[in-house]
């Protein structure tokens, strides 16, 4: 191989700089959100940031072939703490394991990293296609196990991030937009089943697309049956499985004013905070909603609301620009590499980050139900921040050293 044919082995400094700026913004906003409070969340967040940077450096220094070779064992190992939560914390909403030193570990974040690597390895040599259903069996099984375990905790929002990650990787691995529409149609049936007209319209569109693309009859019948089962299953889940607070979140999303002092309070106060920031914001440390504690969970789920109130529309747009550039750099790694394993890792990571950003920000402006999904690099929390940096460290390691995996 000629010297000029060797892969470029260096850090992506633009990606690192973007993450560094987002992390700095996060620390400043967490400090502002807990300013004058007794929790001192910003101090713990600074500690978490240091741990996350160490974790990223550790992932970068590991031999890249380890991630490919150990993908399946790490996946199986990540299921153990999930099972622990379900078995020993039954009928509880606790989603973490208390560790010495006051640190709470969320097993679902470890499972996210493990699923990313395992799915990237499996799909790196097995393209998927709806025309060949057998190709979907192993990847689907790989996804379903941690998805169900996390859903059982219960942690619906994190479980759905697994869906976003897997969907992106399936698309990259060979599924067309039409096939993805077929696969997500049961999810749409779940969402629309309480409106019979909308649900019937979905079936008309689904049958029309399958007829137009000349889908095989047995696949058509199977999809129709799955959608019917998903719709009626949703009714059962709503009545028998969902907790009261989860039903309240969905109903409050549809109509926040139905309980302005209860379930709808967070969304209403969040919208007030963002709207009051106007174009330039009220200035750093000068927010009313956060300083007077009108906004609950302002340092975690609603950190974007604090950002909007203090730095206004322009501050929000600048932060969104940083996220878009970060996703661009991640996907660029996937496009430039000759390693399918590296490319799939990049695509899956982009799916995770984009889902978190989209859902969290949509939640704060009342466009989606309150889910408890953190904003990458900005929201307070150790497990999620560390897992984000671990995945970035793995990706940069593969970019620099794992070209031929």
Q: Would you state the pLDDT for residue 388?
A: 94
Average pLDDT, the chain: 82
Domain range list for the chain: 3-401
Q: Check: CB of residue 376 under 8 Å from CB of residue 387.
A: no
Kindly tell me the burial class for residue 36, based on how many C-beta atoms sit within 10 Å of its own C-beta (0-12, 13-18, 19 or more). exposed
| Res. 298 pLDDT band, cuts 50 70 90 | low
- CA-derived radius of gyration, the chain: 22
Quick check: 263 pLDDT over 60? no
Quick check: 30 pLDDT over 80? yes
The first and second tokens of residue 43, run together, are: 């101090």
Q: Would you state the pLDDT for residue 36?
A: 54
Q: pLDDT over 70 for what percent of the chain? A: 81
The first and second tokens of residue 16, run together, are: 């690192």
What does each C-alpha distance from 142 to 71, 78, 225, 329, 369 come to in angstroms?
12, 12, 23, 27, 28
Q: Which residues contact 102 (CB under 8 A, 6 or more apart)?
A: none
Q: At what angle do helices 265-277 and 340-364 cross, to 10 degrees?
A: 90
Q: Would you state the pLDDT for residue 54?
A: 95
Q: Would you state the pLDDT for residue 93?
A: 58
Q: Would you state the pLDDT for residue 38?
A: 47
Q: Would you state the pLDDT for residue 70?
A: 93
Quick check: 309 pLDDT over 80? yes
How does DSSP assign 361-379, residue by residue?
HHHHTTSS----PPPTTTS
pTM (2 d.p.): 0.83
b/e map 82-104, b = 16+ CB within 10 Å: beebbeeeeeeeebbbeeeeebe
**Range of weakest confidence among 1-5, 211-215, 313-317, 342-346:** 1-5
């Amino acid at each position: 191989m000629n010297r000029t044919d060797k892969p470029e082995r260096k850090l992506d400094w633009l990606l690192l700089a973007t993450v560094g700026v987002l992390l700095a913004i996060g620390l400043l906003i967490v400090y502002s959100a807990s300013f004058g409070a007794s929790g001192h969340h910003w101090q713990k967040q600074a500690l978490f940031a240091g741990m996350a940077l160490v974790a990223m450096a550790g992932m970068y220094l590991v031999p890249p072939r380890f991630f490919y070779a150990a993908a399946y064992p790490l996946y199986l190992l990540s299921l153990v703490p999930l099972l622990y939560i379900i078995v020993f914390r039954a009928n509880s909403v606790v989603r973490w394991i208390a560790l010495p030193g006051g640190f709470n570990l969320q097993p679902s974040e470890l499972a996210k990293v493990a699923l990313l690597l395992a799915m990237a390895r499996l799909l790196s040599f097995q393209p998927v296609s709806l025309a060949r259903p057998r190709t979907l069996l192993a990847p689907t099984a790989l996804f379903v196990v941690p998805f169900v375990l996390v859903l059982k905790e219960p942690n619906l929002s994190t479980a759905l991030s697994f869906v976003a990650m897997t969907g992106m990787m399936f698309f990259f691995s060979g599924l067309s937009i039409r096939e993805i529409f077929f696969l997500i149609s049961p999810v749409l049936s779940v969402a629309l089943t309480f409106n019979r007209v909308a649900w019937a319209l979905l079936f008309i569109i689904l049958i029309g697309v399958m007829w137009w693309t000349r889908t095989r009859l047995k696949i058509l019948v199977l999809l129709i049956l799955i959608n019917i089962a998903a719709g009626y299953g949703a009714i059962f889940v709503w009545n028998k499985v969902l907790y009261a607070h989860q039903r309240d979140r969905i109903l409050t999303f549809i109509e926040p004013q139905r309980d302005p002092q209860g379930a709808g309070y967070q969304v209403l106060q969040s919208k007030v905070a963002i709207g009051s920031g106007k174009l330039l914001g009220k200035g750093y440390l000068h927010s009313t909603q956060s300083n007077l504690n009108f906004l609950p969970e302002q340092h975690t789920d609603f950190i974007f609301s604090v950002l909007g109130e203090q730095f206004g529309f322009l501050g929000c747009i600048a932060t969104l620009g940083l996220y878009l550039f970060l996703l661009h750099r991640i996907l660029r790694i996937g496009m430039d590499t000759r390693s399918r394993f590296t490319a799939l890792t990049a695509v899956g990571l982009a799916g995770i980050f984009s889902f978190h950003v989209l859902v969290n920000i949509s939640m704060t402006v009342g466009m989606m139900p309150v889910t408890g999904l953190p904003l990458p690099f900005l929201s307070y929390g150790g497990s999620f921040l560390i897992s984000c940096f671990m995945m970035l460290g793995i990706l940069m390691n593969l970019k620099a050293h794992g070209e031929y995996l």
